[in-house]
Amino acid sequence: MKKLFAKALVTSALLGGMLVHAADTIKVGVLHSLSGTMAISETTLKDTVLMLIDEQNKKGGVLGKKLEPVVVDPASNWPLFAEKMRGLLTQDKVDVTFGCWTSVSRKSVLPVVEELNGLLFYPVQYEGEESSKNVFYTGASPNQQAIPAVDYLINEMGVKRFVLAGTDYVYPRTTNKILEAYLISKGVKKEDIMINYTPFGHSDWQSIVSDIKKFGSTGAKTAVVSTINGDANIPFYKELGNQGIKSDDIPVIAFSVGEEELSGIDTKPLVGHLAAWNYFQSADSKINSDFIKTWKTYIKDEKRVTNDPMEATYIGFNLWVKAVEKAGTTDVNKVSDAIIGLEVPNLTGGTAKMLPNHHITKPVLIGEIQEDGQFETVFSTKEIEGDAWSDFLPESKDLIADWTKPVNCGSYNTVTKKCVGTK
């Protein structure tokens, strides 16, 4: 009996020690594909979060506690994202998660995050038409990327015909639906808009690029607006080069191709093609120079590049740290309240502010691809407030998101004065 009692005391002490140890850290979930078609883009974001955690721990952590990363690989498998998210929240008990790239992965985890009252920071440009109380969107909404990009093509390049080429999932389809409505509102005829979708990982671009070439041979200035995601970009751009399509003939403006994606291909045939983002590695600011230096030192590779979703991750991480420190706790509800209105520096020399709709302020940059795989900025704006709901779709033009009282809703109809659907 004495032995059993003693053993129970030892077990209790060990468990108590483990609980104390667990309480001494703040767990941070990292939910990015490290394998599969999206690994080309997402692995870098996993490394970015780990670097930011490492840097924060060197400063003493948050609220006097060290940050402990919990990394999982959803493997570019959209249902698996939901399963991994559930595990992070129920088993690992993370306080916050940084993750997802594609909108289909975000849509997959959304019901899990809301059900379990988790906290997700989503760092990639997306189609809008969403605002969740449990998600903070630090990538661009359409009015911070897609709409300004099309305006640039029309106003600065005189483009009259548009090819909307995307990967077949929710982000490209919804973005192109918005863009088609916007283009028609600007006087572009429907027959001057070509829309094409391909599966994830698509590799045979010969006939599609041939169709694009034919569509652009009418004499009217033509451009491709690309929402192609992941490793399909490599054969797409290679085929453009194979068929001799240069930027002077049919320029491509991409929303999902940054420095990381270009690092895997010969960029000489692509010089002059464009990308629309909110950050480029070439941004001339001290804070950006410091970030690049820290990144290359951390990753131990001078050739590794930075990109826009990395900056969005950086902004989201710093906003979360600031909100936790303001709230004095990692409690999701208190952090979510505390983060509204907070500001942190972005990497282009400006400021990112968290808005009541859970989106942030961002500048828009249009960049030309250079031979070294970097971008030269040819157009930029001041910070623009992210809009959760598009003004160009009839079903959402009257909707706003505002997670502060008295509205406290992600889809509030300004005409009926009611919240549409669930809060």
pLDDT digits (tens, 9 = 90+) for 133-153: 999 999 999 999 999 999 999
For residue 172, the surrounding DSSP H or E stretch is helix 170-185
Note the pLDDT of residue 10.
45
Asked if the model's pLDDT at residue 60 lies above 80, the reply is: yes
What are 238-255's pLDDT values in tens digits? 999 899 999 999 999 999
Q: pLDDT class for 266, splitting at 50, 70, 90? A: confident
Residue with tokens 């959209």: 78
CA angle 168, 171, 172 (to 5 degrees): 55
Quick one: 31 and 46 in the same domain? Answer: yes
99 within some domain: yes
Give me the pLDDT at residue 137, please: 98
Same domain, residue pair 204 and 329: no
Average pLDDT, the chain: 93
Candidate from 116-120, 166-170, 176-180, 262-266 with smallest mean pLDDT: 262-266
Please check whether residues 239 and 315 belong to one and the same domain.
no
Same domain, 100 and 215: no
> Could you please report the per-residue DSSP string of 279-326?
--TT---HHHHHHHHHHHHHHT-TT----HHHHHHHHHHHHHHHHHHH
Mean pLDDT on 49-72: 98
Q: Are residues 123 and 155 in the same domain?
A: no
Q: Which domain holds residue 260?
A: 143-282+368-385
Q: Are residues 53 and 124 in the same domain?
A: yes
pLDDT tops 90 at residue 16: no
307 with 270, same domain? no
**pLDDT in the model for residue 22:** 47
Is residue 390 a part of any domain in this protein?
no
pLDDT of 231 reads 87
Average pLDDT over residues 336-356: 98
Count the domains in the chain: 2
- Residues 33 and 74: beta-carbon distance below 8 Å: yes
Any long-range contacts for 79-84 (C-beta under 8 Å, 24+ apart)?
Answer: 79/108, 81/31, 81/105, 81/108, 81/109, 82/108, 82/109, 82/111, 82/112, 84/31
CATH of the domain at 28: 3.40.50.2300
Note whether 150 and 125 are same-domain residues.
no
Hey, how many other C-beta atoms are within 10 angstroms of the C-beta on 399? Answer: 23
Name the band, by pLDDT with cuts 50, 70 and 90, for residue 12: very low
Q: Using CB atoms within 10 A of its CB, is residue 373 exposed (0-12), middle (13-18) or buried (19+)? A: buried
Based on the fold, state whether residues 35 and 100 are members of the same structural domain.
Answer: yes
Residues 168 and 239 in one domain: yes
Residue 407 lies in a domain: no
% of the chain surpassing 70 pLDDT: 94
**Residue-wise pLDDT tens digits, 218-245:** 999 999 999 999 889 989 999 998 999 9
